[in-house]
Amino acid sequence: MSIALLTFDIFGTVVDWRRGLGLSGEAFDRVVDRQGELESEAFRPYAAIVAQSLVDELDMEPEEAARIGAQAGGWPLYADSAEALRRLRAVAPCAAITNSDRAHGAQVQAQLGFQLDGWICAENVQTYKPDPEMWRAASRALGVPFSRDWWHVSAYADYDHETARALGLTCVFVRRPHCRAGPADVVVDDLAQLVEVAAQR
């Protein structure tokens, strides 16, 4: 398999959203599941989705929840993310397909120290993964057709790989501390290992 494009889920795959929220276990799963429910309703920005999930599941004060939602792109990167993405960009263009806002893209890329080759986000597309329109928007924006040469990288089968597989992409599953596994073509422990795999293609 050659690689024409690498696209990445961001929250949970590149960004450690559990550490960013200071949650683990059942509480974190409740927040994530609530976000998924809210994302299936009438569209609103991801900052508002994060805030509402924290109010609903943790009884957080709305003002504090709104502050956290607005700064979600400042949640810490996984330790391997920045260097791995920098090296992977030498293999193929690297872009985000992410349930987030444009402002979060600026925050994440500031942490990376460089710009990705695209930030395809829910705010721009006005829908959320797993809607295939997110990938169609990426195809249009990046000029890359659906094929096995397009690798989609995620720690989440439910949000990402089920749709990516249906569209004919190569699915790369990353075993992050919080992940939801499913069928995948490539399985790696982190993005540093993906660099090694990609270098062999």
Please provide the average confidence, as pLDDT, over all residues in the chain. 97
For residue 201, the model assigns a pLDDT of: 80
Strand positions, DSSP E, 62-165? 94-98, 119-121, 150-154
> What radius of gyration do the chain's Cα atoms show?
16
Provide the residue ranges of all domains of the chain, joining segments of one domain with +.
5-16+74-199, 17-72
- Predicted local confidence at residue 197, as pLDDT: 96
Coil, helix or strand for 134? helix
pLDDT exceeds cutoff 70 at 145: yes
> Is 1 a residue whose pLDDT tops 70?
no
| Whole-structure pTM value | 0.96
**Amino acid at residue number 182:** G
Confidence band, pLDDT 50/70/90 cuts, at residue 24: confident
Check pLDDT > 90 for residue 108: yes
- Give me the long-range contacts of 47-52 (CB less than 8 A, separation at least 24): 47/72, 47/101, 47/103, 47/104, 49/99
Query: What is the distance between the alpha carbons of residues 145 and 124, in angstroms, rounded to a whole number?
Result: 20
Spell out the SS3 assignment of 40-71.
CCCCCCHHHHHHHHHHHHHCCCHHHHHHHHHC
pLDDT category, 200, cuts 50, 70, 90?
A: confident
Q: What is the mean pLDDT of residues 54-73?
A: 98
Compute the Cα dihedral for 168, 163, 103, 29 and give only its sign: negative
SS3 153: strand
Per-residue pLDDT at 80 exceeds 70: yes
Task: Over range 177-198, report the average pLDDT.
Answer: 96
- The per-residue pLDDT for range 121-131, each reduced to its tens digit, is 999 999 999 99
The per-residue pLDDT for 131 is: 97
Task: Give the class (CATH, top level) of 5-16+74-199.
Answer: alpha beta
